[in-house]
Structure 1
């Protein structure tokens, strides 16, 4: 049994109850035992909400609901509010952990226990973080390089599976609500950098979790096609625009989060 008494898992959910079941079943199969499981639902349709209650009787999770869809920011905020363990493992419902994950989670907890300035440990990504310094045991420090030409430097923080301190809001502020998914994540990325966040990145970044989008329960996120198209000219213009915007938002725009209160 892999016991994590100082960690609660926070799962955000919206209309993908079978995917949530696969996630919870996978944690059970690799014998991960957390202090608390919190499922935060964003106003799912009746059939999914009803199935969540069936799953709740099996997996004994704390279900936090809302009468209507209020977006990712609200969904994370209300779920995080009920957690009282030192650490939160944040995972969206369309991921499943692999058998390699428990050992690396133990390692990540030990790193955060040893270094109180460490805010986050990232376990999954689509791409490698562009600026890093090797640390140990398969992890590297992420370094935000203000002069770096790779715009993906912004994603020092990411909504993909990660371990963070439950006091995360005290330093970086709450997730901004009433925005689209991409803007919600973007605002937290900016806050993380502005407030001098410190994080580790697992080098083999697609080994510990697998993202699964089935035809029965596809992704509920609709992303802007201009931001992801592969046209050469569009991609060049987009990259220049991102460099200017990201550096402006980080360096010039009002501080988001804790430093805003000073």
Structure 2
């Protein structure tokens, strides 16, 4: 392999989407990428998907960690991260596909994280840019969390994200484990709050759609259902959304200040 990252484990979380998992592994192979290790953490998939994953192990070198029943996103990431043995973790959910730009951007990100010990996370994908950024270098910007309520963009609380990112494998030591037994959105949100409270620092890729595509097919649709009422363009719903977001701004600010 030409693009080798021996200090990095590729951690993939999976649930009932073995075709998507195969597509992800095949895409990294096509980019001539090799990692120190690959861990697939499965969240109690159906037998046919588990059988497909075990067949994939004949073609791709990875370790599979499983659970007898579905326990949710928090447990799936926790047990996957527990299996990591390298200093750095590239976390990717199974429905993402790396693009050719992955190699140069990831190489830069890993080099910066190795050299700059205060960096906790390097974010590679998002639906929207982090709202408060300070230009850094090599196509990345430093995320700046602004606690005051007059910095009113609610996305500022999503300093951390479950989308593809590079992090130190000691992540749990600083930020704690993911909460289990709650909905995926709450799991992510609680980690966001912990990340801010523990003074996490990270960089955000300016061209945040350059490294990965997120792909869902009719055969293997997203396994996480999200409400779509907030996307409505109706004047009534826009007004309700404005009120909702202002309320969330206050609540989230209090969560950062008070939650343990």
TM-score normalized by the length of structure 1: 0.95
Structure 2 SS opposite 1:187: helix
Report the counterpart of residue 203 of structure 2 in structure 1. Answer: 200
Q: Is residue 114 of structure 2 the alignment partner of residue 113 of structure 1?
A: yes
SS at match of 2:240: helix
Any stretches of 5+ residues in structure 1 without a counterpart?
256-262
- Cα-Cα RMSD: 1.0
Say if 2:257 is the partner of 1:242: no
CA offsets per residue over residues 120-142 of structure 1, 9 Å max, x none? 00000000000010001100000
Once residues 90 and 82 of structure 1 are traced to their aligned partners in structure 2, the CA distance between those partners, rounded to angstroms, is 13
Residue by residue, what CA displacement relative to the aligned partner does 1:23-75 show, whole Å, maximum 9, x if unpaired?
00000000110000000000001111110001112111100000000000000
Counterparts of 1:228 and 1:70 in 2: how far apart (Å)? 29
Q: Which runs of 4+ in 1 moved over 3 A?
A: 224-230
Local SS of the residue matching 2:58: helix
1:163 aligns with 2:163: no
Aligned twin of 1:258: none
Q: Deviation per CA, 1:136-159, whole angstroms, max 9, x where unpaired?
A: 110000000112110100110000
Q: What pairs up with 1:1-262 in 2 under 5 angstroms? A: 1-147=2-148, 148-226=151-229, 229-230=232-233, 231-251=237-257, 253-255=258-260
State the 1:238 CA deviation. 1.5
Once the 2 structures are TM-superposed, how far is the Cα of residue 254 of structure 1 from its aligned partner?
2.7
Unaligned stretches of 5+ residues in structure 2:
none
Q: In 1, Cα distance between the equivalents of 2:65 and 2:158? A: 28
Q: Secondary structure at the match of 1:11?
A: strand
CA distance in 1, matches of 2:222, 2:229: 18
Query: Match for residue 260 of structure 1?
Result: none
Query: Aligned-pair distance for 1:229?
Result: 4.6
Q: CA deviation at 1:223?
A: 1.8
Provide TM-score, normalisation by structure 2. 0.96
Distance in 2, Cα, partners of 1:96 & 1:223: 21
Helix, strand or coil at the partner of 2:167: strand
